[in-house]
Chain A
């Protein structure tokens, strides 16, 4: 009996060790990312190093400094004072509230969805790496569920999909769930690495990488909008964007970003986009699920 317990404990600890080995580099990346953003938004005194083109007056008056950890889930509203004021006014009567109710109704009325997702508080667990399927986002998992139950799949970017995801996100937020992305195999690690490489690769006729705007460029202004940091970015999806006049999934936003780079955008639920989302989500690991939310 004793032997059996020791053997199973050994097997368990070896499995845990090798799982952490697969995520070790990703953990280092996440830590380095957090350190970079915390330094970047630490102090007005060092701001000119990170924001050489931002007018001094703007740095003095419109920036909040000393931002740490989970505060970054607010995107640019974490540091942009005037934007934050407008945001807080909007969320007094959030435009996504009806969508959460509609999402709940969709959930309650769909046997298939209920069967696939008995606990709706799972927004922080996706994207997941599934053997033989690769990276599956929440959108992909919902469509896979519909398909396997003989139902028509939904638009990956808006409509029913975004509403159901809004309900899942709200349920996760209510239960205090956090982003919990797992890399527990060599294949998952490779998928993460591919997503990471694509995130940092310059592309399109504008030759921009995702990082040009959301790592190095985060906090800088394009016309009248501050660009949000990668760190914390996936926590608040789906989002109600004022530009869209509606709710959209992470896939919808990623497709838009990819188009803005000057490239024929990759399709939602494609391997490329799923792996990109996997990397992005890992960068927010441990942060609270904060969706749905509002952005401009």
Chain B
């Protein structure tokens, strides 16, 4: 019985992963992450929807020391407080640091980063062999 439950759980998790990946692969990042067209709340909600999947698959983006989960967390706080500037606190080499971004820019970045991580994962399935000498890479 335990085995059946565990197998069912594993199958449903892999279905969830597959469906989120498929959904992300179909998205037009420029459209869904456009702050002007969709509003800050919707854009950060999109980031929040896809980034956990990127974390789970080991493809979360990080730029200049800031992980995408940190972009999302602090942008959400700024939106809630109606602040035009997002202050991101992060750790680098054991030291506390901060970076400041315009909130709409931070939301756009968080959203594109979350989706592109997953899209690249899907794209790589088709492209990785093109770079292998002796396989798809011709020179």
Contact = CB atoms under 8 A, between A and B. Distances in A.
A205 B29 CA distance: 14
Interface string B53-68: 0010011111100011
A203 B59 contact: yes
A39 B134 contact: no
A134 interface: no
Interface in A252-295: 259, 262-266, 272
Interface string B100-139: 0000000000000100110011011001110111110101
Interface in B69-126: 113, 116-117, 120-121, 123-124
Interface string B32-66: 00000000000000000000000100111111000
Interface residues of B, number: 26
Contacts of A196: 132
Contacts of B133: 29, 32-33, 35-36, 215
Nearest to B54: A264
A264 B117 CA distance: 11
A296 interface: no
Contacts of A209: 124, 128, 131
B139 A39 contact: yes
A197 B124 CA distance: 9
A221 interface: no
Nearest to A271: B58
B134 A31 contact: yes
Interface string A198-234: 0011111101010110011000000000000000000
Contact of A203 (B113, B124, B135): B124
A50 interface: yes
6 contacts: A197-B124, A197-B128, A205-B61, A205-B116, A212-B131, A259-B62
Given A201-B127, A263-B117, 7 more contacts: A28-B134, A29-B132, A200-B131, A203-B59, A205-B61, A205-B116, A211-B131
